[in-house]
Amino acid sequence: MGASLAVLAVAYGFEFLGELKLCTLCLYQRIPYWLVAGLAFGALFFDGSPKANFSLCLGFALIFAIGAALSFYHVGVEQGWFALLEACGNVETSPSIGALRESLATTRSVRCDEVAWSFFGISLAGFNLLASFFLMVLAIVAANALRKGPMS
């Protein structure tokens, strides 16, 4: 739970303190961290058996794998490897001028294929890919340790 909340804190820090405008895919990449944090918080209220904890760790690994896949897709969009989604910074066509104005006022103008911030050539999506992959591996290692039981 702590790792997920830490990643979310960094993401929100970039957005609100760093005034970084985010694209649709950036926002979607937060969902796995919220899911893991919520499940981990909920697990605190149950007396988890080793089998339940093992299953929970495998679930976390799966969620982080999905997050890593989403981040990989975003990196691919930034690099031009994959096609851009319709929802990524495109303005929808509207039947009237008033509807078009409303659409322009409410549509995020940040495109998913433009790197908003990078460090040593790695974008935020790239760092998220690394974090998601690391946390997935960590969850698999924890599940494996639970499967084997306490070492004697």
State how far the Cα of 65 lies from the Cα of 134, in Å rounded to an integer: 10
Integer Cα distance of 21 and 117 in angstroms: 10
Residue 140 pLDDT > 90: yes
Q: Phi/psi of residue 85, each to 5°?
A: -70, 155
The two three-digit tokens of residue 49, written as one number: 């058996």
CA–CA gap between residue 152 and residue 99 (Å, rounded): 68
CB 65 within 8 A of CB 139: no
Q: Do 70 and 29 contact (CB within 8 A), yes or no?
A: yes
Domain limits for position 95:
2-148
In this prediction the pTM is 0.80
- Rounded to an integer, the average pLDDT of 87-103 is 61
Give the mean pLDDT of 70-93: 79
20-34 tens-digit pLDDT:
888 888 999 999 999
Report the domain count for the chain.
1
Query: Domain holding 102: CATH number?
Result: 1.20.1550.10
